[in-house]
Structure 1
Amino acid sequence: MIENQTLAALQKLIDVVAKLRSPDGGCPWDLAQTPESLTPYVIEEAYEVVDAIQSGDKRAIAEELGDLLLQVVLQAQIASESGDFSLQEIAEGISQKLIRRHPHVFGDVTVENVDEVRQNWETIKAAEKGETPEAQKLSDKLSRYRRSLPPLNAAMKISQKAAGVGFEWNNVDEVWGKFHEELGEFQQALAEETPQRQESELGDLLFAIIQVARWHNLDPSAGLQGTSQRFIQRLQKMEDVIDRPLTDYSLEELDALWQQAKAKLAKD
């Protein structure tokens, strides 16, 4: 009974999206969308799902998962209109992939631990591409991380995989040395180079600090998220006590308000 209700709910969503995309009475905004124009929403909704999960708010998690599911159905609807593929093909494809890559569940393979599951997964994945794990080029693997992960996560993953094959410093002092080298080059670029060169040196500097984070077992994405959250919290405290727009305050007044908000949050 529950399964039938779930399928009925999914079919209703499919029908709603198809109606939104219908040339006969559909929504002009939805009709104007393309797979490319919807890409930012896919990313945005995925991040909002993560934020909801981290908040622990069950209703928010369910809502944000619904928004993400909408993006999948909408992409499938657009693709089906041009005969590329359908939602059915998407579902069948991922089901078949899961069955292939879990022979210890759907076949007769025996595994002892999570590491063996991961190793089997990589072996099967490589075989699907006509390769073996040993024959896969590291650069190809790293390119996939660059394409599929947010920049900070990709940089950390790339760094970890490179270190795993021996492309690594001898000690953390060398890592810090590289950071200071890149900082100097970035400062020089800001003073003398083109914007393109400045951006390149900024990337090198960010990659260097990610190496420092890796050596100290820190998550740079989590660190940056925390800093952004604290900035917003302090700004909220400032806005709670002022009686006019922030733009009406001098820099000195804003700094004083900031310090007060920082101190208050530290006590809470």
Structure 2
Amino acid sequence: MSHSQGTTNQTYQAILEALNHLIEVVAKLRSPDGGCPWDLAQTPQTLIPYVIEEAYEVVDAIKSEDQTRIAEELGDLLLQVVLQAQIASEYGHFSLQDVAQGITQKLIRRHPHVFGEVQLEDAEAVRQNWEKIKAAEKGETPQQSQLVSSQLSRYARSLPPLMAASKISHSAAAVGFEWENVEGVWEKFSEELGEFKEALQSDDKTHQSAELGDLLFTLINIARWYGLDPSEALEETNHRFIRRFSKVEALAKRPLNEYNLEELEAFWKQAKAQLNH
């Protein structure tokens, strides 16, 4: 055995020991005998918000390029994987072993150019072959997998709503489901705004929600026409609002709820001026 092989084996062993320790800790947290009441109360459904939150925190950490923070956030996301598998194993559904074996087999199956005899020339060929294999795994015929509606459904299932809507809008437009000009999109926006305002006059929350969704989707189409990313725009607005709000809190000499609206508006204008935007 070479020195490099020995080092690699030691690294793998250390990784396995760390993962095994994590699995044991999570199992203890879920144990009826001395476990944590909060962890014991969780179900796969109650943990959904945490899965989403941790995934977004990983993305934010990667953008920051802070390696220590990236490692920490990846750990938080890994915890969600282990916890979901632990709960599932308690009910006899599947185990962490099943999860690991499943993704390993999928990777091998979807990379025949690496683990098989298939020859693929470039990244685009790899992507196309991946999609064919993926469609076959889901029981779709080649014709079904090429349907635009199938692609749109995948976006709706797998992406956050705002990002999914943007993808759906682009894909539909790419096959000609499109307005002739941007004025048509603005007319649609005015129409949807009117319908939303009308819906708000009723007590039908389902109808109100549907009209709000239509209005937001039309606004996303407007963003596409102008080459804007709605997710990125909203993210920037969120951060900008937080910076301004933080400045307002710094300007205030007492709790904000002790000021009236006019005073708070004055603080807000001062914050905007100090931040130059």
Give the Cα–Cα distance (whole angstroms) in 2 for the partners of residues 6 and 208 of structure 1.
49
1:251 paired residue number: 261
The letter of the residue matching 1:76 is: A
Give the Cα–Cα distance (whole angstroms) in 1 for the partners of residues 212 and 156 of structure 2.
17
Give yes or no for the alignment of 1:219 onto 2:229: yes
RMSD between superposed Cα atoms in Å: 1.8
2:110 to 101, 106, 111: 101
For residues 201-212 of structure 1, the aligned pairs below 5 Å read 201-212=211-222
**Higher mean displacement: 191-200 or 31-40:** 191-200
1:114 to 107, 110, 123: 123
Give yes or no for the alignment of 1:241 onto 2:251: yes
- Same amino acid, percent of matched pairs: 66
1:157 paired residue number: 167
Give the Cα–Cα distance (whole angstroms) in 2 for the partners of residues 194 and 28 of structure 1.
39
**1:143-195, Cα deviation, whole Å (9 max, x unpaired):** 33222221101111222222233222222222222222212222222245633
The letter of the residue matching 1:239 is: E
Give yes or no for the alignment of 1:190 onto 2:200: yes
Give the Cα–Cα distance (whole angstroms) in 2 for the partners of residues 81 and 192 of structure 1.
47
**Cα–Cα, structure 1 residues 115 and 172, in superposed 2: closer, same or farther, change >3 Å?**
farther
Give the Cα–Cα distance (whole angstroms) in 1 for the partners of residues 222 and 126 of structure 2.
30
1:134 paired residue number: 143
Give yes or no for the alignment of 1:174 onto 2:162: no
TM-score after normalising by structure 2: 0.90
Give the Cα–Cα distance (whole angstroms) in 1 for the partners of residues 29 and 251 of structure 2.
45
1:145 paired residue number: 155
1:89 paired residue number: 98
* Alignment gaps of 5+ in structure 1: none
